[in-house]
Amino acid sequence: MQVPILKQGPYLIATIQSALTDADIVLLRDALVERVGRDRARGVIIDVTALDVMDSFATGTLQDVAQMVRLRGAETVIVGIQPDVAFAMVHMGLTLEGVATRLDLEEGLDFLNRTTRASAHR
Amino acid sequence: MKAPYVTEEACVTVTTDADIVTARMRGRAMAIHLGFRPTDATLIATTISELARNILLYAGKGEIAIAPIEQGERRGLSVVALDEGPGIVDASRAMQDGYSTSGRLGLGLPGVRRLMDEFEIDSCANRGTTIRVKKWNT
């Protein structure tokens, strides 16, 4: 199940629509890192609302995405972590440290608008 | 009067990463069917995901068995992850946060222990690994 990546202005939006296998998550990682360059994107939003489980592999790979995208010069924000998923993550000790998270797509866009504009003015 | 226990055991053979998803979805479905709250169903699904991945990562092949359990008035769900892989040479280290021989986060097994009510690991070098976990419906 491949994750569609939409370009919206200077941002890429990846909306996960169902449970993903480990291979699917790795494909998503590679596609996003590549598309940041091809589309000259400033920011990436990954919407995980429909993801059933955020286990150690999913969390670790999303953390890798955020760091790789940052090395490519763009920002990543993860949106839509559900309450039950957040509960399981906290108990597992999966903190997504160093990765920006926001409630939903709207908040994610707002975050990117602020952070990428701030860096453009530096 | 309680409803009779009709749900049968589910067994998923794990040989690919798609089987991880199948196993955790079966677990979630059974948990919901048994009356677990969605939060606990997510804990169970996350546990199965970690255990199934461990099978794939370290043994290449194994089984996840999910079954309803009863103990007196208590009802719950058990998950058994079984493989005939190389076994865990140092089981006590494998239970420490941050320890991993696979180069990943090393939060899998210790994390699973925190998600479930009971956790048992039985592993011998070259004789495979069996992990049994239980969650009670409270």
- Give domain B10-136's CATH number out of 1.10.150.50, 3.40.50.150, 2.30.110.10, 3.30.565.10: 3.30.565.10
Distance (Å) from the alpha carbon of A89 to chain B's nearest alpha carbon: 9
Q: Regarding beta strands B74-83 and B62-71, do their DSSP bridges make them parallel or antiparallel, or are they unpaired?
A: antiparallel
**By residue range, what is the domain housing residue A63?**
5-120
- As for the ipTM of the complex, it is 0.92
Judged by CB atoms closer than 8 Å, whether chains meet at A87 and B43 is answered as yes
Q: Is A50 an 8 Å CB contact of chain B?
A: no
Hey, are the CB atoms on A22 and B43 less than 8 Å from each other? Answer: no
What tens digit of pLDDT does each residue of A52-71 get?
999 999 999 999 999 999 99
**What are the pLDDT tens digits along chain B (138 aa)?**
444 455 689 999 999 999 999 999 999 999 999 999 999 999 999 999 999 999 999 899 999 999 999 999 999 999 999 998 888 766 667 777 766 665 555 567 888 999 999 999 988 888 899 999 999 998
- Of residues B19, B17, B18, B42, the one with CA closest to residue B29: B42
Torsions phi, psi for A28 (to 5 deg) = -60, -45
CA-wise closest residue to B33 among B62, B1, B67, B56: B67
Instruction: Please list, in sequence order, all residues whose beta carbon lies within 8 angstroms of the beta carbon of residue A62, skipping any fewer than 6 positions away.
Output: A25, A46, A48, A54, A78, A96, A99
Q: Do B114 and A23 touch (CB under 8 A)?
A: no
CA distance B28 to chain A (A): 9
Burial class (CB in 10 A: 0-12, 13-18, 19+), A58: buried
Domains of chain B, by residue range, sit at: 10-136
Residue B25 near chain A (CB below 8 Å): yes
Domain count, chain A: 1
Provide the CATH number for the domain around residue A114.
Answer: 3.30.750.24
Per the CB < 8 Å rule, is B104 touching A57?
yes
Q: Give CA–CA dist B120/B107, Å, rounded.
A: 17
pTM for the full model? 0.90
